[in-house]
Structure 1
Amino acid sequence: MSGYYIRLYKASDYHTVRDIFARGIVEHTGAGCRHTLTLPRIWMPSVVVMGLPLLIAGSLLTSILAGTIILGLIYYINRRPNSLYVSFSLRDDMLDIQKYYLQCEDRCFWVAESDREIVGMVAAAPFLHNGGEKQMELKRLSVPRRHRGKGIGKALCRTVIDFARRRGYKAVVLNTPVLKTSSFYLYEKMGFRKSYYFYPDYFGTRYMDIEYVIYQYDIQE
């Protein structure tokens, strides 16, 4: 890939950035499932449930069916928060990106482009919270898998930090799944620090340890 550059979002990017966003969020599901299967409170009962039909009735088919149902349930519970979040976002700020981000004060949306291909995206908006310092939220950061490891994500993060600094904000915050270890490395290398953890308010997320973390970057005077 030749060099990329970062520019403001334009209307012709609409379908591409929505697709990149949706794919990036749903991509978290696989890592979540793998993590869930490592939890003793998940795999131990699963082994028992799968093994009972084989031990009691000698039915391998029933054991396989039980295992398939368990895996399907784990996948569903891990995917559901991501799918609901995507659906909500595509109807909310991602429905009219031009109006939500480019026609409002202290909001913006950028894309990274290379050879007429969009290879990354990020947005910024004031962080809505009760009291405290003036914070900017880094939103919608996504780089397609085949373009990662080329500094695009770092450049997009820096774009938001510079945008927040010019507008007098004291910090930049973002939230991300705990299991996105590659993103952790990027954020922490840039100076973000973990602020607090939380579980999405969906059925089964706490039991399956589907956890998110808030990162914060403090802007120096």
Structure 2
Amino acid sequence: MSDYSIRLYKDSDYHVARDLFAQGLLEHINIAFRHALHQPQIWLPTLLVLTLPALGLVSVALLVPVAIMAVLVLWFCSRYMYTSYVDYALSDDMLDINKYYLQRDGFCFWVAETRGGEVVGTIAALPSSDPGGEKHLELKRLSVATKHRGKGIAKVLCRTLIDFARRRGCEAVVLSTTVPQINATKMYEKLGFRQTHTFHHQGLLGQFLDFRFLVYRYDIPGA
């Protein structure tokens, strides 16, 4: 980690920060797709459909393109869960990072930078909007460039945010992540975050794909 430093976001980081955020989320599309394929509400009807040729109800020639189309639809639905959120965030808080995170009390945005000046990681903090979370800080926009992972950068970014929350007198840090983000959840748990609950995203489509958010909380010692 000595080859990296954590500093506040600058306007010159704009495009890199947005790209790191988007790429970090979109890389989970295929994992989400494979997760969806394992859900009973998807594979059970698929098995039933596959028996139709044996029953003489449809021909194999007709079933194959239908099956291919169904798989493609499922993949695009999994993709939509991430692309829709990325599009939303890029037009919301990530549209003007400086104004949203650095010009408001209780908000902040940091980047991880190499000795050569390359921005390779991001993390953001904002007051939690959840009911009863008046003294909670929310962790968002954590992302580390693929080739720089496994070097402890994400942990240092998280600890920077936790220290920020402690100085502000917060009682806890909260965050939400998705089921396919396996490495992230393992890291959060090693840092002391505990899962509090889960919820499905995007209504019926989220339930059909089992697209769940995992909510974590870190209680600040002595708060």
Matched letter for residue 78 of structure 2: N
Pair 1:84 & 2:84 matched: yes
- Supply the RMSD in Å over aligned alpha carbons: 1.9
How big is the shift at 1:190?
A: 0.4
SS at match of 2:130: coil
Which stretch of the first structure deviates more once superposed, 69-78 or 208-217?
Answer: 69-78
Q: Is the 8 A contact 1:134 1:171 kept in 2?
A: yes
Pair 1:122 & 2:117 matched: no
How big is the shift at 1:87?
A: 1.1
Q: Is the 8 A contact 2:10 2:98 kept in 1?
A: yes
The 2-side partners of 1:87 and 1:97 are apart by 15
Matched letter for residue 88 of structure 1: Y
Matched letter for residue 130 of structure 1: P
Q: Is the 8 A contact 2:128 2:134 kept in 1?
A: no
Q: Is the 8 A contact 1:175 1:212 kept in 2?
A: yes
- Which residue does the alignment assign to 1:170? 171
For structure 2, the 5+ residue unaligned runs are none
How big is the shift at 1:132?
A: 4.5
> Percent of aligned positions with the same letter in both sequences?
48
Q: Map Cα deviations across residues 146-199 of structure 1 (whole Å, 9 max, x no partner).
A: 221110110111011000001111100000002322111100110000011101
- Which residue does the alignment assign to 2:155? 154
Q: Map Cα deviations across residues 108-144 of structure 1 (whole Å, 9 max, x no partner).
A: 1111111222111000010112235510000100112
TM-score (norm. length: structure 2): 0.91
TM-score (norm. length: structure 1): 0.92
Say how many residue pairs are matched.
220
For structure 1, the 5+ residue unaligned runs are none
Shift in CA distance, 133/25, structure 1 to aligned 2, threshold 3 Å: same
The 1-side partners of 2:213 and 2:187 are apart by 16
Shift in CA distance, 132/4, structure 1 to aligned 2, threshold 3 Å: closer
Which stretch of the first structure deviates more once superposed, 112-121 or 98-107?
Answer: 112-121
Shift in CA distance, 203/73, structure 1 to aligned 2, threshold 3 Å: farther
